[in-house]
Amino acid sequence: MEISREIYWNVGHGVWTLLPMYLLTIISIVVLVSASKKRLRLYREGLPLNRTDQLGRRIIETLKNVVLQKKVMQVSASGVFHGLFFWSFLLLLIGTALIVAQADFTDLFFDIQFLKGNFYKIFSITLDAAGIVAIITLSLLFIWRYLFRWKGREERGQYIVMHSVMMAILVTGFIIEGSRMAVTELGTPLAQWSPGGFLFAQMFSSLGEDSLRILHKCIWWLHFFLVVGFIALIPYSKFRHILTTSSNSFFSDLGEKGKLTNLDLEDEDKETFGANVVKEMTWKDIFDTDACTSCERCQDRCPAFATGKPLSPMKLVNQLGETVCNNPDANLIDIISSDAIWSCTTCRACQEICPASIEHVNKIVELRRSLVLMEGEFPGEEVMSSMEQTEVNGNPFGIGYASRGDWASELGVSTLAEENDVDILYFAGCYSSFDKRNIRVAKSFVELCQAAGLRVGILGKEEKCCGEPMRKMGNEYLYQTLAAENIEKIISYGVKRIVTTCPHCFNTLNKDYRDLGLAGVTVQHHTVFLEELLTSGKLAIKAEPLSCTYHDSCYLGRHNDIYEAPRAVLKSAGATLVEMEKNREEGFCCSAGGGRILAEEKLGERMNIKRVEMAAALGREVLVSNCPFCLTMFEDGVKGAEVEESLKTRDIAEILAERIN
């Protein structure tokens, strides 16, 4: 006996099968294409943005995220279920395509059949296994979503339809196979190659052949209607993510992480800055809204959401999406609410985890740019006052600019104006220059450099705020003004290497200033610089025990992927490190990013207290950080959490300076 099966068994291969079948298929595809075209028109409403460069990298990224399900699988359990379900469905799709290819093409025109023999056996068992895995994972996902996750979600109805359609396709597939096998395969050795179908065949074995044939034919057509229905539903439901999420992976931002677009402030024809309506967003911002699967991963990790603030990155993207479709001329700031827009700390937790490659942070900054540059609005008067102080004195505290270098007056550190032949320029930043607590960090860093025999220079009163908090608050004008002044000084002194003790300064000088003309300068964060000094043996320290936990600042961690250097430094200092549950890519923001350092936290719980409590729960003595904003927030947080006696907060430089050999 030929090892194979008759394709179109029972339903026939005549015109009364093929005609309605192909007609309906074509109709469903027409529905899919025309609805997709309508959506394409929506994307075209947005501003241009080049996301088709570096084709090779884009294709590889897309394959990784689609075929290998890389980003989805970053989250265990639900991610793995999704991966398994996707691969099963993909196999079933390939299997169906092979059947169509043989029955309606190779066999029909060339009399070639390849679904036979051992290949057929493998084909059969693979598809059966895929069907079983798909049913199990779909059920698990259904239970997970409905019982644990989606209470009170508005779109629950849609998701029930989607789950039901997929489940019905899978189950009817097995009924078709089972009823066919009950007639043709039961009792043959081939049956064992279709374990799923075999189960159903046994269930149906009591039915007579006539009944089985009627059952088979009805369910075959039902299965078919479900499949064409599924195709037609794609553009009208979250099924669209099959197309949009995978495409979004292709269009993802391949530039440096978290880098914002540089506004051209010289362009005199430009009348609006930032975005407060859909057409001021880019096409990618609009496309993002269609790529969103509402999986809530962003919301789960958003520190603002976790502390009861009116921001959910997912909701923001969905609101943008609804506005695009229903009310494209509406004011986005009214819809999203300025409280939500100001609540973001730009910590990037949402973007880092998003399986759909959605870019949340730049949207929020564009909205803020509109608020600040077009309306002169800020989250509070304290922020406006910080901006004005920075305009006058180059620091948000409003302290006289001339005293910026005073902290270093007795440390043997020269300003570049006095002596520019130095090994490194230490760009101290505002906090390390003016804030008492952080001056201790600056002094420790200088001590370490001097112990390593390095000559350290500072800009002193010629240094200005790097402009990062202002930029993230949307004040691009002030940022560019400050940046231009700093860059001019740095270039005029011929600086070759800059080290900062602030990840915000580091990120800004290293990435953002490049767009404004800073070139040929190495910029390093002190944790990386110190690790190099330790590894090269230039800096000798004696290890002493330290019981601590380490906080990954957002701008060193997620924005720059520097996770190991600081840990290596702590290890060589003799520290035994216990990690907080939220560490590395999952680190929980201290509250001060995104310019929030300038703002009072008036809504919800205090983020810094929440983070300190996570640290305090570990029972370690010291909470180590790498950022003056984090340190400031934690100094305040230990008081708020009432753990100031048991938990001390230190910068890595301070830990190391105590151990200089």
Partner 1 sequence: MKVLVCIKQVPDMESKFKVADSGTWYNTADLAWRMNEYDEYGVEQAVRVKEQEKEADVTVLCIGSGKVKETMKKALAMGCDRGIHIQDESVFEKEPFQIAAIIAEYAKDKKFDLIFTGMQSQDRGSAQVGVLVGETLDIPSISTIVEFEYNDGEVAVSRELEGGIKAKMTVKVPAVLTCQLGLNTPRYPTLPNIMKAKKKELLTVPVEDLQHMDARQVTEKMFFPEKKAGGLILEGEATELADQLIAILKEKSNVLA
Looking at beta carbons only, is 275 or 302 nearer to partner 1? Answer: 275
Q: Which is nearer to partner 1, 201 or 371 (CB)?
A: 371
First to last CA, the chain: 84
As a whole number of angstroms, the distance between CA 295 and CA 270 comes to 38
- The token pair that represents 36 in the structure block: 């997709």
Looking at the Cβ atoms of 388 and 564, the one nearer to partner 1 is: 388
Among 195, 229, 398, 604, binds partner 1 (CB under 8 A): 398
Q: What does the per-residue mask of binding to partner 1 show for 421-460, with x meaning CB under 8 A? A: ----------------------------------------
- Rounded Cα distance between 90 and 246, Å, is 14
- Residue 549, helix vs strand vs coil: strand
76-110: b (≥16 Cβ within 10 Å) or e: eebbebbbbbbbbbebbeebeebbeebbbeebeee
Produce one character per residue of 47-63: b if its CB has 16 or more CB atoms within 10 Å, e if not: eeeebeeeeeebeebbe
Q: Using the rule CB under 8 A, give the single segment among 43-51, 181-189, 243-251, 395-403 that binds partner 1.
A: 395-403
Contact between 99 and 54 (Cβ < 8 Å):
no
Q: Which one, 362 or 475, has the nearer CB to partner 1? A: 475
Cβ-based nearer residue to partner 1, 384 or 660: 384
Burial of 366 (0-12, 13-18, 19+ CB in 10 A): buried
User: Exposed, middle or buried by CB within 10 Å (0-12, 13-18, 19+), for 421?
Assistant: exposed
Minimum distance from residue 603 beta carbon to partner 1 (Å): 21
Cβ of residue 271: shortest distance to partner 1, in angstroms? 6
Buried/exposed code over 483-494 (b: 16+ C-beta within 10 A; e: otherwise): bebbbebbeebe
CB-based contact 646:639 (threshold 8 Å): no
Residue 621's CB is within 10 A of a number of other CB atoms, namely 12
| Positions 462 through 501 that interact with partner 1 (CB under 8 A) | 476-477
* Contacting partner 1 within 353-382 (CB under 8 A): 372-378, 381
402 contributes a contact to partner 1 by CB under 8 A = yes
Our finding on whether 461 is near partner 1 (CB under 8 A) is yes
User: In angstroms, what is the minimal distance from the CB of 47 to partner 1?
Assistant: 18
265 is a site residue for partner 1 (CB under 8 A): yes
CB of 464 to partner 1, least distance (A): 11
Q: Is 393 in the site for partner 1 (CB under 8 A)?
A: yes
Nearest distance, CB of residue 310 and partner 1, angstroms: 23
Residues 6+ apart with CB under 8 A from 17: 8, 11
Which residues on neighbouring strands pair with residue 217, listed in sequence order? Answer: none
Nearest to 292 by CA among 253, 319, 331: 319
Which member of 21, 171, 335, 399 binds partner 1 (CB under 8 A)?
399
Q: Shortest distance, CB of residue 402 to partner 1, whole angstroms? A: 4
Query: Does residue 388 bind partner 1 (CB under 8 A)?
Result: yes
Rounded Cα distance between 123 and 322, Å, is: 43
Smaller CB distance to partner 1: residue 488 or 561? 488
Number of residues that bind partner 1 (CB under 8 A): 29
Among 27, 40, 203, 392, binds partner 1 (CB under 8 A): 392
Segment contacting partner 1 by CB under 8 A, of 61-69, 102-110, 387-395, 529-537: 387-395
Report, in Å, the least distance between residue 334 CB and partner 1. 18
Q: How far is the CB of 633 from partner 1 (least distance, A)?
A: 24
Rule CB under 8 A: is residue 400 a binding residue for partner 1?
yes
CB of 134 within 8 A of CB of 92?
yes
DSSP track, 294-359: ---HHHHH-HHHHTT-S--HHHHHHHHHHHHHH-TTS-HHHHH-HHHHHH-----HHHHH-TT---
Based on CB atoms, which residue is closest to partner 1, 377 or 644? 377
Stretch binding partner 1 (CB under 8 A), from 12-20, 306-314, 325-333, 394-402: 394-402
Q: In the complex with partner 1, which residue's Cβ is closer, 482 or 528?
A: 482
Contact track, partner 1, 219-258, x by CB under 8 A: ----------------------------------------
Nearer to partner 1, 272 or 522 (CB): 272
Q: For partner 1, what does the binding mask look like between residues 111 and 150, x meaning CB under 8 A? A: ----------------------------------------
How many helices (H) and strands (E) the chain has is answered by: 30, 9
Residues near partner 1 (CB under 8 A): 265, 268, 271-273, 372-378, 381, 384, 387-388, 391-394, 398-403, 461, 476-477
